[in-house]
Chain A
């Protein structure tokens, strides 16, 4: 199975900050990576697919980059609604696996 590792596990930031979350795959997954946002008690919400494609309706302050084994999710200017947990997920090979999550907290 492909292991997905996110860093950091927790991130403290302020409104307006630029935030970057890293996701590393245990082997190359080309650009087959998705990012999700999850708020407490809610279902995950797709933000980014194929590493850098923005899902319809997602604010443009979210962006994704990377290929191979290293990927990043960037929030250009953190908004109050963005405090949540973020997960990466590889869709390169079965079984589809997720990172452990990165919680973005208010500083």
Chain B
């Protein structure tokens, strides 16, 4: 079945870096745009970043621009988020999510499959 499984979360000090990943299965990953969406525990959802099916186009929320980098390895069906210069306000559960479009060249920008998320805690 279609599945997304995140990994790599943990506790990290402010100013340090962390890389989280998302393993995809059950669908043609290389044809799908992919997103990261985060959620502070007990709070709402915040879109973080998107990457096109081929990795050529990437967009970021202003809150992470210049600090976070989204990437993908289609041969390994893996999505990644490199997070640098982390801040306390980056503490959240990070979900990877599949774009709903079934056409590689078109992005719908809503999310039809989500992973359970990985918790990133930024604290000294």
Contact = CB atoms under 8 A, between A and B. Distances in A.
Interface of A: 32, 34, 36, 42-46, 49, 55, 87, 89, 91, 94-101
Contacts of A43: 95, 114-117
14 contacts: A32-B109, A36-B45, A36-B111, A42-B116, A43-B95, A43-B117, A44-B111, A46-B100, A46-B110, A87-B44, A89-B47, A94-B109, A95-B62, A98-B47
B13 to A, nearest CB: 27
Contact of A91 (B62, B110, B115, B117): B110
A43 B94 CA distance: 10
Interface of B: 44-47, 50, 59, 61-62, 95, 100, 108-112, 114-117
B33 to A, nearest CB: 12
Contact of A49 (B44, B100, B114, B117): B100
B45 A98 contact: yes
Contacts of B62: 95
B49 to A, nearest CB: 10
Nearest to B62: A95
Given A49-B100, A96-B109, A101 B44 contact: yes
A87 B110 contact: no
A95 B61 contact: yes
Contact of A44 (B46, B50, B100, B114): B114
Contacts of A96: 47, 50, 109-110
A49 B111 CA distance: 9
A100 B61 CA distance: 17
